[in-house]
């Protein structure tokens, strides 16, 4: 074997070793992220002191006394979906959470296959208002085949506007729109600037690619807290854009 051949084989070995190392590191990082051991987003508490959770039946039975005692200030609870679905745990969660010091609100999972008026009626019939509650939230994200087969924008805007108007008229609070980056860009941007935005961005800062004017930010769906025992081991964590004083003084009343 010539000296040149030996050098070539050594270079290949080094390259293969490096590639193997990178694959192993990527695999380890994937496991750490998937199990919630490492979070892609972990914003500093000093910059964003007001944090909270959003929950649904997936968290199962929640001990709100335990959950609320883990450096969180608010909770959004899933209430309804579409025109007829009601989250199985909503009533229990809504009553129990009110006994804590958390500010709390309810959210609705928006359906592209149902009229905005009947979706609003479903939410209103389910969510009993109380003084100091956070605004109702309409969760606009893709489900099923909608991510690859986007519903018509104009049709979505019509029904979403109807629901927003109905909720605002009933509760006297300006509803919050929850959106992913994709649904924000497709449906929400430049259409609903008068409404508070709750943006979901679990991989980057929401201002990294675009300067979103957000009020709430869901920064991870891989946090683990104590106080729930459902099939979902993780819980969504969120931030409020502002200080504690601004959070407490915000009423969102219209």
81 is catalytic: no
The conformational region for residue 130 under phi > 0 = left, psi -120 to 50 = alpha, else beta, is: beta
Please classify residue 131 by burial: count the beta carbons closer than 10 Å to its beta carbon, then call 0-12 exposed, 13-18 middle and 19+ buried.
exposed
Q: Are the C-beta atoms of 218 and 236 separated by less than 8 Å?
A: yes
Q: Describe the chain by its helix, strand, coil percentages, rounded to 5.
A: 35, 20, 45
Q: Which two tokens stand for residue 238?
A: 């969120």
- Helices 116-126, 153-171: axis angle to 10 degrees equals 30
194 is catalytic: no
Q: Which two tokens stand for residue 32?
A: 């750490």
The catalytic position among 95, 101, 141, 145 is: 141
Which residue carries 């007829």 as its tokens? 84
Which residue carries 């959004």 as its tokens? 76
Q: Residue 184: phi, psi to the nearest 5?
A: -60, -50
The catalytic position among 54, 87, 166, 168 is: 54
Looking at the annotation, which residues are catalytic?
54, 141
């Amino acid at each position: 074997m010539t000296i040149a051949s030996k050098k070539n084989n050594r270079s290949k070995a080094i390259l293969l070793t490096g590639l193997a190392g990178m694959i192993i590191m990527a695999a380890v990082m994937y496991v750490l992220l998937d199990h919630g051991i490492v979070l892609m987003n972990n914003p500093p508490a000093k910059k964003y002191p007001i944090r909270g959770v959003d929950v649904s039946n997936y968290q199962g039975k929640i001990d709100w006394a335990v959950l609320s005692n883990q450096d969180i200030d608010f909770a959004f609870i899933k209430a309804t979906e579409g025109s007829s679905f009601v989250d199985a745990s909503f009533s229990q969660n809504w009553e129990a959470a009110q006994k804590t010091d958390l500010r709390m609100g309810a959210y609705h999972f928006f359906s592209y296959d149902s009229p905005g008026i009947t979706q609003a009626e479903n939410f209103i019939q389910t969510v009993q208002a109380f003084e100091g509650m956070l605004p109702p939230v309409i969760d606009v994200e893709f489900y099923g085949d909608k991510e690859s087969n986007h519903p018509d924008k104009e049709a979505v805007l019509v029904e979403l506007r109807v629901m927003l108007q109905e909720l605002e008229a009933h509760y006297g609070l300006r509803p919050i729109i929850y959106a992913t980056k994709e649904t924000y860009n497709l449906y929400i941007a430049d259409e609903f600037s008068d409404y508070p935005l709750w943006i979901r961005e679990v991989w980057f800062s929401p201002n990294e690619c675009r300067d979103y004017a957000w009020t709430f930010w869901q920064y991870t769906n891989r946090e683990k807290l104590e106080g729930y025992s459902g099939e979902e081991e993780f819980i969504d964590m969120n931030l409020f854009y502002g200080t504690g004083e601004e959070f407490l003084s915000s009423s969102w009343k219209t």
